[in-house]
Amino acid sequence: MRVRGRWAVAAVLAAAVSGWPTPASAGTSGTTPSRPGEPGSNGRACAAGADRPYVTTRTPVLAVRQSAPGGGQNLTTTFAWWPIDGTSGGAGRASRSAGNPAVVAVDVPEGLLADGGTYAWRARTFDGTRHGPWSDRCEFAVDATPPQQPAGVTSTDYPADAPAGGVGVPGQFVVSPPELRPEEVVAYAWTLDSGVGPAGAATVPADAGTHGATLTIAPSRDGILTLRVWSKDRAGLFSTPATWTFHVKAAGNPQPARPLTPTISFPDGNTVEQGGTLSVRLDAGGDKSVTQFRYSVGAPTLNLTAAPNEPGGYAVVQVPVGNVPGSRSVYAVANDGAVDSLLTAAGIQVRNLTVLNGRVLDITTFLPVPDATVRLEPGGYRTTTSVEGEFSFRTSEVPPGLYTVITSHGGCSREEGPYEVDGQGLTIDLLLFPDQCGQATIR
């Protein structure tokens, strides 16, 4: 499931919600306070969109520098924050008074922000008579929970049950992504040194498709070694480590010859709908020593086997892909009855049966809106929300493309987008403003 942010949602403007501050008109004479400068979210510079910072606390500090021409008087700056990208609740405001100029800051109160939520904020200054302009819009995402540890670490080059390899002999170690929220992992930290923690360990980027990683490591000594691997998320938090203990052969112990690494291909293409079955071809490449293939989907467990149709030939297997949409890998090795080849992998795509889905919400209450009409243009594709405010368009109904989403209910209509519909699945929340019917268009 592809999600914009976590949820693709209409940008919620603070001025549209009852009780949130709205910009005041500048005075007709004299001077107004300056636009607050140097905004920061918990010590991170102001940014929005893909560049928004992650904060590791649910009570971040929002700060700006307040000022007004002339100096001298006491000023009050009000901070307003609100949820975006499908986050529910958490809106609020707080004020601080200080001199002119001065850096002022507020702590977002405990219990308002959700772990995993995304928020926007602005600030403006009041001199007792006039309000100044709003600051630039800043955004931040809350990530207060470390990622889950890797689901596993395996190696056919350095197995756990027998001495293998040798000093200086490189081997591959496959890191499987966490089972929960694998898309949040951006890198893996690893080390063979028991005295090194994750912050001082080497790192390797997570694969953008599978969210796992492959390490190539040449051990510097023989004997029993333990590889520790940590997940690292976008906020810089580390998981607990996953481990792989293996035995490096001493010098002078020759290694057996390996079979050729097999090739993986997909006779019917590498894309299949969720719940379907994919044809996978494993080819020995003419290596007649190969007696079987070992393979798996999603993680390199290699728990499935297939025999080639003839010495040096191939096998075609039917692989159930499950009901979770997204990208994953097929892993395979060739085996000659005693020794595995090097591991290989190829990516597949599990397509969502639902191309676009979500909810329609009343912005004043954040309650679902039943019987609302959701229409996609161009094309006029339409559906009606359920009693829970939910809607969906199936892949078979809507071709890929850019669509404007028009939501209407009880004479109130709202246009959002365009959104890219590409068959991978997109979830959005659509917000209706009952007090501003027919006035709002978000792009």
The reported pLDDT for the residue numbered 301 is: 84
What pLDDT score was predicted for residue 415? 84
- How buried is 355 (Cβ within 10 angstroms: 0-12 exposed, 13-18 middle, 19+ buried)? buried
192-215 as b/e: b if 16+ CB within 10 A: beeeeebeebeebebbeebbbbbb
- Residue segments in the chain with a per-residue pLDDT below the cut of 50: 1-29, 436, 438-443
Amino acid 327: pLDDT: 76
**Cβ within 8 Å of residue 172, ≥6 positions away:** 155, 156, 157, 214, 215, 216, 342, 343
Give me 33's structure tokens: 């306070």
Q: Is the dihedral angle over the CA atoms 122, 127, 131, 136 positive or is it negative?
A: negative
Using DSSP, state whether 160 is helix, strand or coil. Answer: coil
pLDDT at residue 354 in the model? 67
Three-class DSSP category at 183 = helix
Q: What pLDDT, on the 0 to 100 scale, is given for residue 335? A: 93
327: Cα within 13 Å, side-chain hemisphere: 11
pLDDT of residue 435: 54
Q: How far is the C-alpha of 411 from the C-alpha of 432, rounded, in Å?
A: 11
By CB atoms closer than 10 A (0-12, 13-18, 19+), residue 375 is: middle
Closest Cα partner for 307 from 297, 292, 318? 292
